[in-house]
């Protein structure tokens, strides 16, 4: 018996209760909304009105929903890739950089044939984007498997390099010669733009592909041997070694997969909503996707939902900025808070809180045990 | 180059190195206790904005520095509650800390963009400060620079010679053994994490009050991450950390000077990549080299611990 008299006892659970596992993200969202209420109050805004414009009013119009899908697409694509790695304890933090490189490689293909409108251009751009993202993620993969360099730091450092590289290009060789010296490339030709799924919205083909890839990711993780190996390597590295799974191969697989998907997301951004290369392709999708992966419980189908929710944090931030004058930075605060609450409520998943009987009652019940 | 010009270059190297030194030294102690806090960037930028806001509002640089340290500590406390009390994943929590810190700092700092602040006062010793080369180099800094170097000596002594430092290392090398002979692992780690937060906050305060006495969104620009790499580079040794921080300060300044000199025809963005590429290179050399520096890593680094009561 513990010497402490606290009536609360914390025990590790033997089994993870499924229901609780999927309930905690909802708890985390609820806590974030409550925290948001007090943050808005403290900042001197009407908390009800602010929360309404942040979480509700973007969803009241059809256009709002289509924008939600547009913003969710890159988050889902990247989140699915990252989640596979996180399951195997491969921490690719540089998806933002891989997205940027994918945007560059895909964009360069589009600009190379500018003025012509070849029908094959979109598939080639997508392949170039995937290849660019993969190649960029191959650097941390190589350094990790060959020399044992921590992939967290290398992939993150490469993000800064990628952003600077994109900036070099749009200020230099790829600058639109007719663009009044603005740091942006030419607008892509029509054939190099993703077709819209619905007229009057920005909903493009890429959003559909993102959802399809998430479903494919679920099939892979659940039904294939490689998905099984990833899960074993994350949960029981020694068992994986004993079974002869190559951890080197899994590291390569996870980084190439997440890098490729991030690169594809980058190409979708420039071939979809943006339509050209500009100095900043993404408002931090690569980092937000980390939260998306966790909030979706590292499960591809959960990631579709969490991707939509995190997309709401971007759109809600914009709406609240217009309607209530909230600073855009609120989005980042909300995203960070959400991950805090999720990690904290995970405690309930892994540990059981039990109210112990008082010492007297425990003493009297002792002989019965 | 005249002695004065050399002194000027070295001075800028020192001020570029100081924020890195603060943040990395704090993280070194945290990691020695067996905790990996990837939120250095977040704590640093929150420290930078808090220091700047308080210094502008009160007009006192010292209060600003204190506020920076306090802000870093506060964010580190959140990290402690999540990873130490609630045994959450340290990597994920550290990332959350960085995302949250970047967001909160730009929220707080929105009203402070473009406002000037008077930089921290430089030490002035009559007579000596005017000596060529040595004068400005040894006596021409603000108090934080001296504090950062004194902190290296203090941490080195603490880890190697003091009883508390020995306990901290024991907790980092084998949490279960330390727990079983009666040390409070969680309490030791809390103290280390809070110290790390205060140091990252000081690094941020130095950035916004001395290095570039301005507030700009995202002004840490990855320095928190470079600090993490420096700890690996130094293989968890405080004096090697000092050398590493000054080396990186040198890389930053060399890059700025080349840009200033027309960049040798190289686009400025390519030059700006240098510190990040140097970080990757250094990490690779450390990992691949024959000296096996990473064998020095604390054995329990990043592993959550919950005492079984």
* Token digits of residue A278: 């500009």
Measure the CA–CA gap between B64 and B215, rounded to whole angstroms: 13
| pLDDT tens-digit map of A241-273 | 788 788 888 899 999 999 999 999 999 999 999
Are B115 and B57 contacting, i.e. CB atoms less than 8 angstroms apart? no
Q: Which residue has the higher pLDDT, B190 or A3?
A: B190
Backbone angles phi, psi at A364, to 5 degrees: -75, -25
Q: Cβ contacts (< 8 Å) between A146 and chain B: which residues?
A: 288
Measure the CA–CA gap between B254 and B114, rounded to whole angstroms: 27
Chain B nearest-CA residue for A345? B86
Measure the CA–CA gap between B142 and A238, rounded to whole angstroms: 52
| pLDDT tens-digit map of B83-132 | 999 888 898 899 899 999 999 998 899 888 888 887 887 766 666 666 66
* Token digits of residue A366: 């002792």
Question: Which of A154, A168, A334 lies at the smallest CB-CB distance from B270?
Answer: A168
| pLDDT tens-digit map of A218-237 | 998 888 888 888 888 877 87
CB contact under 8 A, A333 and B221: no
| pLDDT tens-digit map of A336-358 | 999 999 998 888 887 877 766 55
Q: Cβ contacts (< 8 Å) between B309 and chain A: which residues?
A: 2, 4
CB contact under 8 A, B101 and A336: yes
Are A155 and A92 contacting, i.e. CB atoms less than 8 angstroms apart? yes
Return the pLDDT at A361. Answer: 47
Chain A nearest-CA residue for B217? A329
| pLDDT tens-digit map of A112-124 | 988 888 889 999 9
Contacts of B64 (CB under 8 A, 6+ apart): B50, B51, B52, B53, B54, B55, B56, B58, B117, B205, B209
CB contact under 8 A, A164 and B269: yes
Flag whether pLDDT at A149 surpasses 50: yes
Are A277 and A174 contacting, i.e. CB atoms less than 8 angstroms apart? yes
Q: Cβ contacts (< 8 Å) between B86 and chain A: which residues?
A: 343-344, 346-347
pTM of the model: 0.88
To the nearest whole Å, the CA of B117 is away from the closest chain A CA by: 23
Question: Which of B99, B229, B280 lies at the smallest CB-CB distance from A332?
Answer: B99
- Is the Cβ of A332 closer than 8 Å to some Cβ of chain B? yes
Return the pLDDT at A233. Answer: 80
Q: Cβ contacts (< 8 Å) between A101 and chain B: which residues?
A: none
Return the pLDDT at A95. Answer: 96
Return the pLDDT at B257. Answer: 79
Q: Which residue has the higher pLDDT, A186 or B40?
A: B40
SS (H, E, C) chain A: CCCCCCCEEEEECCCCCHHHHHHHHHHHHHHHHHHHHHHHHHCCCCHHHHHHHHHHHHHCCHHHHHHHHHHHHHHHHHHHHHHHHHHCCCCCCCHHHHHHHHHHHHHHHHHHCCCCCCCCHHHHHHHHHHHHHHHHHHHHHHHHHHHCCCHHHHHHHHHHHHHHHHHHHHHCCCCCCCCCCCCCCCCCCHHHCCCECCCCCCCEHHHHHHHHHHHHHHHHHHHCHHHHHHHHHHHCHHHHHHCCCCHHHHHHHHHHHHHHHHHHHHHHHHHHHHCCCCCCCCCCHHHHHHHHHHHCCCCHHHHHHHHHHHHHHHHHHHHHHHHHCCCCCHHHHHHHHHHHHHHHHHHHHHEEEEECCCHHHHHHHHHHC
CB contact under 8 A, B273 and A336: no
* A residues 215..234 contacting B (CB < 8 A): none
Q: What is residue B209's DSSP assignment?
A: I
To the nearest whole Å, the CA of A314 is away from the closest chain B CA by: 13
Return the pLDDT at A2. Answer: 43
Residue with tokens 């000027």: B8
Hey, how many other C-beta atoms are within 10 angstroms of the C-beta on A349? 18
Q: Cβ contacts (< 8 Å) between A156 and chain B: which residues?
A: 222, 225
Complex ipTM, two decimals?
0.87
Return the pLDDT at B193. Answer: 97
Flag whether pLDDT at A297 surpasses 80: yes
Nearest to A323 by CA among A57, A41, A66, A37: A57
Q: Which residue has the higher pLDDT, B260 or A131?
A: A131
Q: What confidence tier does A177 reach under pLDDT thresholds 50, 70, 90?
A: confident
To the nearest whole Å, the CA of A123 is away from the closest chain B CA by: 31
Question: Which of B42, B229, B309 lies at the smallest CB-CB distance from A2?
Answer: B309
Name which of A173-177, B16-20, B289-293 the model is least confident about. B289-293
Return the pLDDT at A362. Answer: 47
Hey, how many other C-beta atoms are within 10 angstroms of the C-beta on B250? 18
To the nearest whole Å, the CA of B286 is away from the closest chain A CA by: 9
Chain B nearest-CA residue for A339? B96
- Please give the biggest Cα pair distance in chain A: 89
Angle between helices A121-142 and A151-171 (to 10 degrees): 140
Nearest to A108 by CA among A87, A129, A133: A129
| pLDDT tens-digit map of A6-47 | 566 777 777 777 777 788 888 999 999 999 899 888 888 888
Rounded mean pLDDT of A148-156?
A: 91
Mean pLDDT of chain A: 87
Flag whether pLDDT at B235 surpasses 80: yes
User: In angstroms, what CA-CA distances link B104 with A8, B37, B43, B47?
Assistant: 34, 18, 11, 11
Backbone angles phi, psi at A280, to 5 degrees: -125, 110
Helix and strand numbers, DSSP H then E, in chain B: 13, 0
* A residues 107..166 contacting B (CB < 8 A): 139, 143, 146-150, 152-154, 156-158, 160-161, 164-165
| Angle in degrees, CA A114, A119, A124, rounded to 5 | 75
Nearest to B62 by CA among B139, B143, B140: B143
Q: Cβ contacts (< 8 Å) between A153 and chain B: which residues?
A: 225, 228-229, 232, 279-280, 283
3-state helix, strand, coil in chain B (%, to 5): 75, 0, 25
Q: Which residue has the higher pLDDT, B131 or A290?
A: A290
- Is the Cβ of A52 closer than 8 Å to some Cβ of chain B? no
Flag whether pLDDT at A1 surpasses 60: no
**Residue A190: half-sphere exposure toward Cβ, Cα within 13 Å:** 1
Question: Which of A165, A172, A339 lies at the smallest CB-CB distance from B99?
Answer: A339
Measure the CA–CA gap between B157 and B238, rounded to whole angstroms: 9
CB contact under 8 A, A343 and B93: yes
Q: Cβ contacts (< 8 Å) between A4 and chain B: which residues?
A: 309
Hey, how many other C-beta atoms are within 10 angstroms of the C-beta on B263? 15
Flag whether pLDDT at B264 surpasses 70: no
Number of residues assigned to chain B = 309
DSSP 3-state of B250: helix
Chain A nearest-CA residue for B94? A340
Return the pLDDT at A3. Answer: 46
CB contact under 8 A, B95 and A93: yes
CB contact under 8 A, B88 and A294: no
Q: Cβ contacts (< 8 Å) between B221 and chain A: which residues?
A: 160
To the nearest whole Å, the CA of B165 is away from the closest chain A CA by: 27
Chain B nearest-CA residue for A154? B280
Chain B nearest-CA residue for A288? B99
To the nearest whole Å, the CA of A338 is away from the closest chain B CA by: 9
Are A133 and A261 contacting, i.e. CB atoms less than 8 angstroms apart? yes
To the nearest whole Å, the CA of B272 is away from the closest chain A CA by: 7
């Amino acid at each position: 018996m513990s010497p402490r008299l606290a009536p609360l006892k914390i025990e590790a659970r033997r089994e993870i209760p499924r229901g609780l596992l999927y309930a905690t993200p909802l708890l985390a969202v609820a806590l974030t909304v409550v925290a948001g209420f007090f943050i808005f109050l403290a900042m001197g805004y009407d908390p009800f009105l602010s929360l309404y414009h942040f979480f509700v009013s973007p969803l009241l119009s059809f256009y709002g929903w289509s924008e939600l899908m547009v913003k969710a697409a890159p988050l889902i694509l990247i989140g699915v890739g990252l989640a596979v790695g996180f399951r195997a304890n491969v921490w690719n933090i540089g998806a933002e950089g891989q997205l940027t490189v994918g945007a560059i490689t895909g964009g360069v293909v589009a600009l190379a044939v500018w003025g012509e409108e070849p029908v094959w251009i979109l598939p080639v751009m997508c392949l170039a984007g995937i290849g660019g993202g993969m190649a960029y993620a191959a650097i941390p993969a190589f350094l990790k498997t060959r020399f044992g360099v921590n992939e967290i730091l290398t992939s993150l450092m490469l993000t800064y390099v990628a952003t600077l590289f994109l900036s070099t290009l749009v200020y230099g060789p790829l600058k639109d010669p007719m663009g009044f010296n603005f740091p942006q490339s030419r607008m892509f030709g029509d054939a190099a733009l993703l077709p819209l799924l619905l007229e009057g919205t920005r909903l493009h083909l890429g959003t559909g592909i993102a959802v399809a890839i998430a479903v494919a990711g679920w099939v892979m993780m659940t039904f294939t041997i490689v998905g099984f190996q990833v899960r074993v390597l994350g949960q029981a590295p020694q068992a994986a070694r004993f079974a002869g799974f190559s951890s080197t191969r899994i590291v390569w697989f996870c980084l190439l997969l997440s890098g490729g998907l991030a690169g594809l997301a980058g190409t979708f951004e420039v071939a979809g909503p943006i339509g050209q290369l500009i100095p900043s392709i993404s408002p931090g999708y690569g980092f937000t996707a980390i939260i998306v992966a966790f909030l979706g419980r590292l499960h591809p189908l959960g990631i579709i939902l969490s991707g939509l929710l995190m997309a709401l944090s971007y759109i809600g931030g914009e709406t609240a900025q217009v309607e209530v004058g909230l600073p855009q930075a609120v989005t980042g605060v909300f995203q960070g808070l959400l991950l805090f609450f999720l990690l904290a409520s995970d405690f309930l998943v892994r540990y059981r809180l039990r109210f112990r009987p008082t010492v007297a009652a425990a003493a009297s019940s002792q002989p019965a045990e | 180059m005249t002695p004065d010009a050399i002194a000027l270059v070295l001075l800028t190297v020192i001020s570029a190195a100081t924020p890195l030194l603060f943040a990395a030294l704090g993280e070194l102690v945290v990691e020695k206790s067996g905790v990996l806090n990837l939120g250095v960037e977040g704590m640093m930028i929150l420290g930078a904005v808090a220091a700047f806001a308080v210094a502008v509002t009160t007009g006192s640089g010292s209060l600003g520095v204190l506020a920076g340290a306090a802000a870093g500590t506060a964010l580190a406390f959140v990290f402690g509650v999540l990873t130490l009390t609630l045994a959450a994943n340290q990597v994920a929590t550290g990332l959350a800390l960085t995302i949250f810190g970047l967001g909160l700092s730009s929220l707080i700092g929105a009203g402070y963009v473009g406002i000037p602040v008077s930089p921290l006062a430089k030490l002035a010793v009559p007579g000596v400060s005017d000596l060529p080369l040595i004068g400005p180099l040894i006596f021409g800094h603000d108090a934080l620079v001296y504090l950062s170097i004194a902190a290296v000596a203090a941490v080195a002594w603490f880890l190697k010679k003091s009883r508390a430092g020995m306990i901290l290392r024991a907790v980092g090398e084998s949490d279960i053994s330390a727990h079983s002979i009666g040390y409070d692992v969680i309490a030791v780690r809390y103290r280390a994490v809070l110290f790390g937060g205060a140091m990252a906050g000081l690094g941020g305060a130095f950035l916004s009050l001395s290095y570039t006495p301005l507030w700009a969104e995202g002004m840490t620009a990855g320095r928190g991450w470079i600090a993490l790499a420096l700890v690996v580079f130094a293989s968890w040794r405080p004096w090697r950390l000092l050398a590493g921080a000054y080396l990186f300060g040198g890389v930053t300044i060399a890059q700025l000077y080349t840009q200033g000199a027309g960049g040798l025809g190289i686009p400025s963005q390519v030059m700006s990549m240098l510190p990040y590429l140097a970080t990757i290179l250094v990490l690779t050399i450390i990992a691949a080299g024959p000296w096996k520096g990473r064998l020095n890593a604390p054995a329990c680094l990043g592993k959550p611990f919950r005492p079984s009561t």
